[in-house]
Structure 1
Amino acid sequence: MLDNLRSTENVGSIFRSADGAGVSHIYCCGTTPTAKHPKVKKASLGAELTVSTSYHHNSLVLAAELRAAHALIIALESTPESTSLFDFAFSSNSQQETILVIGNEISGIDPQLLSLADHVVHLPMAGKKTSLNAAVAAGIALYHLVFQNK
């Protein structure tokens, strides 16, 4: 779930990473540019055609619907209570849809949306900066979650 991302290049890059990791669907929410945007298409290099997608005006409504359908929601956000992605013991249940939430490049994930997540994970940072580019972080998290148990 891409929640209010602003960069078409980030969205296109996330489509490419999602395709590579075998993700089946991307939910674009709020102000997130959709796969129809020419710059998203350019950055995704065709991955917008291989990963299904849908647009949802309100990520909170979508998250509530997904929870009601028993989806597992994992938010990628650094908070005082978040767990390092690399310490997070994730085991995929093939019957349960798993949703990774990526937030806005500047403001992160809406606190109300964070409260709907089953788990909040972060990428540990060893340098001076406190975060990575949204597309880079999404790619790392997708690959780790998909392949850690294979």
Structure 2
Amino acid sequence: MRKLKNNELGRISVDVFKNTQKTPIIVILDNIRSLQNIGSVFRTSDAFLIEKIYLCGITATPPNKDIHKTALGATESVDWEYVEDTFLLVKKLKDLKIKVISIEQVEQSTMLNTFIPKPNEKYAIIFGNEVKGVQQKVVSASDKCIEIPQLGTKHSLNISVSCGIVLWDLFSKMTK
């Protein structure tokens, strides 16, 4: 086997990305503190053709050198918008018939490996603060909460890792 060179990877331009049909997923970042985590979410969202990212509350916005460090230009390809209040955004998206899912450990959560997205359904996926998680009022307003199964001693994952796991899982299920 030979490693591929950058020019062999079939990368598309930002213009082509903008005009490509997107995966019907919106990402919502609820009060994310780490600029590197924000950048990583942009990069992962670019990889899976995510429709849009909403940056809420204390979540920083581009342009920012620390976001750029991990986003590697994905802030230019993935559509994004800043919204101060996550709860009000959730209400608006639900009014648009978008299914809102918080990624959180809650009573009666659905395990990610058992969740099957419905065809022709659009989902807004909420990732929460590195310490406090998704705000309780946002969890309560969600249509569903999905939990990433964890079998070790920690039962917590970095938000950028959680995002990668969840978006890959949903993308792979939605593009079968």
Any runs of at least 4 consecutive aligned residues in structure 1 with deviations exceeding 2 A, and if so which? none
The alpha-carbon deviation at position 92 of structure 1 amounts to 3.5
Percentage of identical aligned residues: 34
Q: Deviations over 1:85-113 (max 9, x none)?
A: 001121241xx431110000100000100
The alpha-carbon deviation at position 24 of structure 1 amounts to 1.5
1:110 to 120, 123, 135: 135
1:136 maps to 2:157? no
The size of the alignment, in residue pairs, is 148
Q: Deviations over 1:5-28 (max 9, x none)?
A: 000000000101111011020000
Whole-angstrom CA distance in 2 between matches of 1:98 and 1:36 = 26
Whole-angstrom CA distance in 1 between matches of 2:132 and 2:98 = 25
User: Bigger radius of gyration, 1 or 2?
Assistant: 2
Whole-angstrom CA distance in 2 between matches of 1:46 and 1:121 = 29
Q: Which residue in 1 is equivalent to 2:146? A: 121
Show structure 2 runs of 5+ residues with no match. 1-27
Counterparts in 2 of 1:92 and 1:5: CA distance versus 1, 3 Å: farther
Whole-angstrom CA distance in 1 between matches of 2:138 and 2:56 = 12
Whole-angstrom CA distance in 2 between matches of 1:92 and 1:139 = 21
Q: Secondary structure at the match of 1:5?
A: coil
1:15 touches 1:51 (CA, 8 Å); kept in 2?
Answer: yes
Q: Secondary structure at the match of 1:136?
A: helix
Q: Secondary structure at the match of 2:140?
A: helix
2:48 touches 2:168 (CA, 8 Å); kept in 1?
Answer: yes
TM-score of the pair, normalised by structure 2:
0.81
Q: Which residue in 1 is equivalent to 2:68? A: 41
The alpha-carbon deviation at position 35 of structure 1 amounts to 2.3
1:35 touches 1:53 (CA, 8 Å); kept in 2?
Answer: no
Whole-angstrom CA distance in 2 between matches of 1:100 and 1:118 = 10
1:98 maps to 2:114? no
Q: Secondary structure at the match of 2:44?
A: helix
Q: Which residue in 2 is equivalent to 1:32? A: 59
Q: Which residue in 2 is equivalent to 1:145? A: 170
TM-score of the pair, normalised by structure 1:
0.95
- The Cα RMSD (Å) is 1.0
